[in-house]
Amino acid sequence: MGTLDNLFRSRHSKKEDAEHWIGISDLMSGLMMMFLFIAVAYMYYVQVERENIKEIAVAYKDTQVAIYNDLNNEFKSDLPRWNASIDRNTLQVIFNNPEVLFRSGSPELSTQFQVMLSDFFPRYVTVLSRYREAIDEIRIEGHTSSDWGTRHGDEAYFPNMALSQDRTRSVLQYVLSKLTSGADREWVRSSFAAVGYSSSRRLVDAGNSAEDAARSRRVNFRVITNSELQIRTIIERLDGNQR
């Protein structure tokens, strides 16, 4: 009798153990399926976002090329006499040689620069008006060299910051006064910004990496498209989800 009882208990215990392990196995299978689903969903999300970036990048490139070509076609014959250039990658129209653009150490526009801007800016607005939907902002950027008389470091940086900011504000105020269309004036007020960078983006000689003071002193008109911001937003979102 004792032997039968032991045998029955042994079989009952094995049955409970089997049921116990089957339960754990089902739980593990469920967890694995859940994690697999999450992984597949995330991979799909990343793929969609990458496709979005690719689509925006193609549109960004096409827009950049179109804006550059239109600006270059409009101004290529004027750039040499203005001592100006257009950067294909950043869509900057760069006016060099501030000794011609401003009075020394002053935000006051020279007569020569006023004549240049009177010719340049209405045509510039006409070209960019074709791309208003694609443009987020246009910056008038002022840059200086790192020196301020005999001052260096912070003693030169902050006076140059004030000077570069005042100069870009003077440029924006002047060009705005030259627009006759109310719609153009409204768009310029809402889309243009005057930014002074002091010497934070000074230019250097390629050979010895020394500062090129003359080239560092410049004024740029820079176009920033919507695509730049869209790509940056998607990348930041992807980066945040990976943390």
Q: What is the pLDDT of residues 188-212, one digit of tens each?
A: 999 999 999 988 888 888 777 788 8
Instruction: Count how many domains the chain has.
Output: 2
111 and 212 part of one domain: yes
Same domain for 85 and 175, yes or no, is yes
- Is residue 136 over pLDDT 80? yes
Q: Write down the mean pLDDT value for the chain.
A: 81
Same domain (yes/no): 21, 70? no
40 inside domain: yes
Comparing CA positions, the residue from 109, 233, 104 lying closest to residue 169 is 109
Question: Quick check: 116 and 236 in contact, CB under 8 A?
Answer: no
The verdict on residue 239 lying in a domain is no
Q: Are residues 103 and 13 in the same domain?
A: no
Statement: residue 67 has pLDDT above 80: yes
Check pLDDT > 90 for residue 169. Answer: yes
Model pLDDT for residues 28-62, shown as the tens digit of each residue: 676 677 777 777 766 776 677 666 666 666 666 78
The amino acid that residue 204 corresponds to is: V
Flag whether 241 is in a domain: no
What does the pLDDT read at residue 7?
45
Quote the tokens at residue 6.
Answer: 């032991």
Burial class (CB in 10 A: 0-12, 13-18, 19+), 114: middle
The domain boundary, picked from 54, 76, 97, lies at 54
Backbone angles phi, psi at 137, to 5 degrees: -160, 150
CATH of the domain at 107: 3.30.1330.60
Structural domain contains residue 142 = yes
| Residue 47 placed within a domain | yes
Is 74 part of any domain? yes
- At residue 237, does pLDDT exceed 50? yes
Together in a domain, 39 and 121: no
Specify the pLDDT at position 217: 85
pLDDT bracket for residue 132 (50, 70, 90) = very high
Q: Could you list the residue range(s) of the whole structural domain that residue 135 is in? A: 63-233
Are 165 and 205 contained in the same domain?
A: yes
pLDDT tops 70 at residue 23? no
Give first-to-last CA distance, the chain, whole Å. 65
